[in-house]
Amino acid sequence: MTDIVLPFMVEASGFRGRVVRLDDALDQILQAHHYAVPISKLTAEVTTMCVLLGSMLKYDGIFTLQVQGDGPVKMLVSDFTSGGDIRACATISKDLKISADAPLMGKGYMAFTVDQGENTERYQGIVELKNDSLLESMQSYFTQSEQIRTGTRLAVGLVDGRWRGAAIMIQNMPEEGGVAAVSEGMGVSEAEDHWRRAMILLQTCTDEELLSALLTPEELLFRLFHEDGVRVFEPRVLQKGCRCTMEKVEGVLRTLSADDIAHITENGKITMTCEFCSRAFDFDPAEIGRNIKA
């Protein structure tokens, strides 16, 4: 296992896709939080999906996947930079009670955001959270909003005590004008047959194959699509990365009132912990107290 995104194309049909494999990066993200296993599993899913979706786009900035619900898990957030940095966290109800038959997210929504920085417009797509399933909600987004035929397999889990995540996605990308791409010389009926075949083959891919440390992404793709020909492209390397800094946290503290500063001071210091990476920052309240709001 390695932390990569591997783009590919099924040559017989022209379908495009990508394989995501998360190993060290995902395990480091989750080990920093010490969530209960069901919460870690949800966080692993949203992280894997974030990379899968973000890697589709050509952009220079940050792709964010946010899931919000009214259940015990209030929010899941993961983001993925164009440089390959990923991070994730969950917001959990204080009175969290995990039941085998109770939904963790409940009713809510899933939001996709692309932020390319200053002087650019942010793109955002929103879809209803369906049946407490992140994958089903994502599939619904492509069907309803993007109108792109998309097939996906995703798996996350603990393997030998380490968290791993993997996914494979195939898309029938539209040409200009919004018409589904059809390979040269291929009729619509034949293109439909190719799509049905690709979906059948995709569903034969097991969780064990997706997460296996002994099976490379190239070998996985060959197992699935060798009869139709499969071409892989340059992989993108991923790593755990958080953008929190002492300066950013201090900037937030300086927006607080004197009463707020006093309230969060304990034992003569202020400790702020990043929700994404659990890194703790210590500050002197006397220093922060200068130039704060009256």
Q: What is the pTM of this model?
A: 0.88
Instruction: Give yes or no: residues 197 and 250 share one domain.
Output: no
Instruction: Give yes or no: residues 264 and 224 share one domain.
Output: no
Instruction: Give yes or no: residues 129 and 253 share one domain.
Output: no
Instruction: Give yes or no: residues 52 and 130 share one domain.
Output: yes
Is 293 a domain residue?
no
Task: Give the single-character DSSP code of 177.
Answer: T
**φ and ψ at 239, to 5 degrees?**
-155, 155
Domain count of the chain? Answer: 2
Residues 231-258 have pLDDT tens digits of: 999 999 999 999 999 999 988 888 888 8
Length of the chain, please?
294
Closest CA to 188 of 176, 198, 197, 179: 179
Q: Supply the CATH number for residue 36's domain.
A: 3.55.30.10
Residue 176 pLDDT class (50, 70, 90 cuts) = very low
Instruction: Give yes or no: residues 223 and 258 share one domain.
Output: no
Residues 115-139 have pLDDT tens digits of: 987 778 888 889 999 877 899 998 8
147 is written with which tokens? 């109108």
11 is written with which tokens? 């040559």
**Backbone Cα Rg of the chain:** 22
Q: Which residues are 184's β-sheet partners?
A: none
Residues spanned by the domain of 34: 4-240
Instruction: Give yes or no: residues 209 and 76 share one domain.
Output: yes
Is 273 a domain residue?
yes
Instruction: Give yes or no: residues 207 and 259 share one domain.
Output: no
Instruction: Give yes or no: residues 145 and 251 share one domain.
Output: no
Is 92 a domain residue?
yes
- 38 vs 103, 157, 190, 220, 256, CA distance in Å? 11, 10, 43, 27, 35
Task: Give the single-character DSSP code of 269.
Answer: B
Distance CA 23, CA 227 (A): 29
Pairing label, strands 62-69, 108-115: antiparallel
Closest CA to 46 of 126, 175, 135: 135
Instruction: Give yes or no: residues 140 and 262 share one domain.
Output: no
Residue 187 pLDDT class (50, 70, 90 cuts) = low
Residues 18-72 have pLDDT tens digits of: 999 999 999 999 999 999 999 999 999 999 999 999 998 887 899 999 999 998 9
Percentage of residues of the chain with pLDDT beyond 90: 63
pLDDT at position 230: 95
* Averaged confidence pLDDT in the chain: 88
Say whether 266 sits in a helix, a strand or coil.
strand
pLDDT at position 186: 60
Instruction: Give yes or no: residues 8 and 142 share one domain.
Output: yes
How does 42-58 read in b/e, with b if 16+ C-beta sit within 10 Å?
bbbbbbbbbbbbbbbee
Distance CA 243, CA 75 (A): 20
212 is written with which tokens? 């296996």
Instruction: Give yes or no: residues 201 and 120 share one domain.
Output: yes
Whether the per-residue pLDDT at 289 is higher than 90: the answer is no
